[in-house]
Chains A and B, each alone.
Chain A
Amino acid sequence: MALIEYALFALAVICLTALTKSHRLMSVLSLIHVLSCFLLIYSVLSTPVFPKYYIDENFMIDYLSVYEILIASTVFLLVVIYRKDYLENLLARGFLNKNNLALVYAAMNSLLLVIILSFSSNNLALLWIFAELTTLFSALMIAVMNSQKNIDAALKYVFISSTVMVFTFIGLVLLFTETEKTLGAGTLNWSALMENAKNLDPHVLITAYAFIFLGFAAKAGIAPFHTALPHAYSKAPSSVSTVLSAVVLNIGLFAILRIYSIMRETGSAAAASNILLFYGMLSIVIGSLSMLHQKNTRKLIAFSSVENSGLMLIGIGISTPAALFWVLLHTLAYSLTKASLFLSTGILHNQYLSNKVENIKAALQVQPFASAALIIGTAAIIGIPPFLPFTTKFSILAEIAKYSVFLLIPVLGFILITYAGFAVVLTEAFTRDSEEEKPGDLKKYRAPLGLKAPIVLLLLVILFLGLYTPKELIDLIWNITRTLYR
């Protein structure tokens, strides 16, 4: 199945979802949609010609796209499994209006569609537009709950990323003008830009790059554009936060990677990576320091992902193929782990109706599964072996050391602070004197299998990948590395 057929199919699914009233049918349709994404990857990979172009080379699926789509589809698949029972619970408690259910599903499917389209855009302007659209659909999904705070969070989300993304457009225009001047015909196609990167003027390119970077940095949750994320993640339903943090953030990094790989070919590579290193460091500093006084589990995870985006940015900025390899593998590891964390907090939220630490009582007795999953997930995310993030984080840090040992020192210091942040919050949440706080009057929420299974699956996957990374995956990532860093 090619991209166009997929897009048409997805549109059909969205329409059907909007029409139907049965929750079960909506869920099944979403499932089919997600499965069709896997089919797309399969069909793309089944023919040896690579990369594949669509519609005048405006769209392209190369190894990087395949990889990112794979991560996105996996997360979506688990979220779809998780979502039905989760939404049932929200409906039952009146947090969600029955009439809005179709909207939720339609928005979710549209989000998946635009995500896949943005990953398969070759034209940077298209990438920009689709990224912008993901913002809008995400905001819609945050806002759909019956609470004013959600609307507030959604508005923040929209305004912060959209305003900054206007500058991306300016950067794109500059880039287009430059190609028009040097190559005769203007183009924004990444593949063409990669071909001709050496001929373009580095001064213009670095300006264009800076503008483009700013917008996508906002998408990737880089400080100081991260500010909307903690609010959005803590207010949105778990299933939405999961998608936002595990998939939508990747679009930003994906785009930055694309642009940076062009810059790497030119004379302004050093300046380009300085920008990455600066913002990466800033994100690590702000993300880690914000975690230390966090009282809200989801915001904690949000700031951790800010810190982590910073680390990945530094990994890209040091500009070696090995570092890129590890950053890419880390993207996978981190997305899956973060997804498991958000899904676990969802169960806890169903129990305590809050994400705040102070409201979590006797969790180890009342919700042993969710608590254990959250603890294990946290261990994984901070890089405790034998989970996959351990290996990737270790290796990224090693590559940073190769670049400069003195850059490594502050990075390690602030990573330690994130550890402390997690430890403070989790011990606070789970080891409060359980003898005193008897679960007693707390009505126990029984999480259905649909909520538990995805979490278990995710944890098992990162555990498995941590110990055994299939050769195919490694080859895939090396292929990406070769296409990006020539």
Chain B
Amino acid sequence: MIMFTSLFYLGIFLSLLGFVLPLLRLENNRKAHRTFSYSLSILSSVSFLAFSALVFLKKGEYLIPVYSNAGLIDFTFYVDQLSAFFIAVISVVSLSSAVYSFGYGEHLSHERRKDYMASLLNLFALSMVLVVASYNTLEFIFFWELLSMSSFLFVLFEYGKPGTRKAGLYYFIMTQLSTMFLLLGFFGIYANTGSFNIQPVTSLQNLTLIFLSLFIGFSIKAGVVPFHKWLPYAHPAAPSNISAMMSGVMLKVAIYGLMRFTLTVLPQERWWGVLILVAGTVSAILGVIYALKEHDIKRLLAYHSIENIGIILIGFGLYLIYSANDLNELAILALAAALFHTLNHALFKSLLFLTAGSVVSATGKHNIEEYGGLIKTMPYTAALFLIGAVSISGLPPFNGFVSELMLFQAFLGSYLIQDPLLKSLVVLCLSGFALTSALAAACFVKAFGITFLAVPRSESARDAKEVGKCMIAGAVIPAVLCIVLGVFSLQIFSLMGYRTDLPDMLVIGIIMSLFYAITYLVLKNTAANKVRAGETWGCGTPLSSRTEYTASGFSQPIVRFFKDIYQTREVNERRFYDKQNTLFKEGAGEIHLMKFFEEKLYDPVARSINYLSIKVSALENWSLDTYVLYAFLAVLATVAYVGWIA
């Protein structure tokens, strides 16, 4: 018991130290300081990891008092299996991110920036851990805001680049919007119970309001459609090691919040599961469909995060539906799927972001159309990216497949539900989910194929060099875990005490490698082992990088299939010689892909607030007379009110 908590304290202490040290600039050898700070980050991740593993295995609940101040702030942390699980997820990703940063952090442009990177990385990781371990809502918001703030600074980190400011603003406003919804939910609970503690509540007024505001608040932060719009802006803008953490675990913090409050705090209602399932399905489908259209590698990955968050929500929604229908075994399967997918997504998404970061820093380009052939110059990065791509596409025997398999199993068990309408809804969501996973595979064929295969499409891709050891090592950690968690999934589950009749991926893996080995070995020594190098068949024309298939070409059929979802807008401009518009001079026609949510949801809201704001700002017109008039009217109104009530 003592050892447990001391690990937790140690983690906090190391992170804080790592946060403060680079800021102080104690000596001239700043690089040593940064290295030290990253090492502290690694150490603290390790200690958090050990701590959460112990808690998880002992299945206990622990209250850890850290600091409290005269009843204003009470930093008491609460760790049970759920939070321990999330702490472990966060720690693994921060660990690999920190290792990666040894190399990546030194590529940044200014000395000061490098310092901030090392410092903020610690704060960022720590605040995530502490949000997850929060015991009261004040604490939750405290670290939640620290998290938002540190990630906001990271989004603005390279503020000189075009688009970064927009990304930063988008991100800031959306995260604060989510905080506002959370506050509404938290205070709704507080108004009922009078306590900030995150504890089970039995009866609540305004339960629907509270649940909806919490759901929306967490959805915004998790990037659930239609609140996802900040994600594809913010993730590409942030440095890659941070994108890995943002996408890999920051979104999961929101998932944790949703799970914590719906599972243990609020009394559940039947329709919540349906809402969450539908929201999850919609964001899974739309996330991947948008990803297909995207050619900025980091933005593509960001859209996939939306998809995967959707998948996690699908699992969680199924859990709620099944447990409302008393199908406990299925419910547990669905929840396990959701949680396992949380872990898996954290791993493969951080792996993908880290390797994408390596590619970006090796080529200096973001657009996958400008890559190509990198597998020859950057073989390690390519292999790691491939592992991530296979995992995220949900192919056996990797981890992504296992969680998707569990979800499919959970879906297919829906024949036990009594309500026919609910049953058919579940089937519809199932088909949506299937579509999602197939499209994800298509998208990663594109991402990997266009980036790493064939001939380089630009000078920078041709001249790319393999990145340094640290950056590879950082990506190796999640890659190994992707394989291990996939192949040994059943063994790990039974180690954790969860018995299930899922297929044993170890056996499947062995069978496959056996077949691979047999075919390979049998044919290795036969006569026809001659290999000749030739040219690609191009119907006689010389092939170059210009004739290769492009990413837009690749996704074009799917874009055509789903053209109703990607709405287009035509813009016609015509200029005339005369005012009556009879003599046509010149014109231009464009077809834009509509940013549906941005144009139909975000912009109208923003516009109306803007309109109001302009109207209100116009009240301030620099004229004393007007100002006194306002005061005069206010006096009259107040007197009238008083006269009315007296």
Contact = CB atoms under 8 A, between A and B. Distances in A.
A164 B631 contact: yes
A207 B73 CA distance: 41
Nearest to B75: A467
Given A290-B617, A405-B206, A431-B165, A379 B149 contact: yes
A146 B174 CA distance: 44
A110 B168 CA distance: 46
Interface in B597-646: 609-610, 612-617, 619-620, 622, 624, 626-628, 630-631, 633-635, 638-639, 641-643, 645-646
B146 A385 contact: yes
B624 A203 contact: no
Interface residues of A, number: 70
Given A214-B638, A385-B146, A402 B627 contact: no
A424 interface: yes
A390 B619 CA distance: 30
A481 to B, nearest CB: 14
A397 B160 contact: no
Contact of B642 (A206, A224, A420): A206
Contacts of A275: 638, 641
B72 interface: yes
Interface stretch (B180-188, B463-471, B494-502): B180-188
Nearest to A231: B622
A416 B217 CA distance: 13
A469 B159 contact: no
Contacts of A155: 624
Interface in A396-412: 397-398, 400-402, 405, 408-409, 412
Contacts of B645: 206, 271
A159 interface: yes
Interface string A466-481: 0111110010000000
A222 to B, nearest CB: 9
Contacts of B173: 416, 419-420, 423
Interface residues of B, number: 63
Contact of B156 (A400, A431, A433, A435): A431
A433 B160 contact: yes
Given A224-B631, A224-B633, A469-B70, A289 B190 contact: no
A416 B138 contact: no
B218 to A, nearest CB: 16
Given A385-B146, A402-B190, A405-B188, A412 B69 contact: no
A412 B191 contact: no
Contact of A384 (B69, B149, B160): B149
A412 B183 contact: yes
A445 interface: no
A197 B239 CA distance: 63
A461 interface: no
A415 B180 CA distance: 9
A214 B635 contact: yes
Contacts of B143: 385
A164 B172 contact: no
A486 to B, nearest CB: 22
A43 interface: no
Contact of A289 (B188, B616, B622): B616
Contacts of A417: 609, 613
Nearest to B643: A207
B398 to A, nearest CB: 39
Interface string B163-197: 01100110011001100100110111011001010
A218 B639 CA distance: 16
A260 B141 CA distance: 32
Interface string A434-446: 1100000000000
Given A207-B642, A401-B191, A423-B169, A434 B69 contact: no
A227 interface: yes
**Which of B141, B177, B614, B631 has the most chain A CB atoms closer than 10 A to its own CB?**
B631
Contacts of A420: 169, 172-173, 176
Nearest to B610: A292
B620 to A, nearest CB: 6
Contacts of B177: 416
Contacts of A413: 180
A435 B176 contact: no
Interface string A449-471: 00000000000000000011111
B65 to A, nearest CB: 16
A161 to B, nearest CB: 9
A292 B609 contact: yes
A321 interface: no
A286 B616 contact: yes
A385 B142 contact: yes
A230 B165 CA distance: 27
A329 to B, nearest CB: 8
11 contacts: A203-B646, A206-B642, A210-B638, A225-B634, A285-B616, A289-B609, A293-B613, A397-B183, A397-B187, A416-B180, A423-B169
- 6 cross-chain pairs, A with B, having the tightest CB-CB distances, nearest first: A401-B187, A431-B159, A289-B616, A227-B627, A224-B630, A292-B613
Interface of A: 155-156, 159-160, 163-164, 167, 203, 206-207, 210-211, 213-214, 218, 224-225, 227-228, 230-231, 271, 275, 285-286, 289-290, 292-294, 379, 383-386, 390-391, 394-395, 397-398, 400-402, 405, 408-409, 412-413, 415-417, 419-420, 423-424, 427-428, 430-435, 467-471, 474
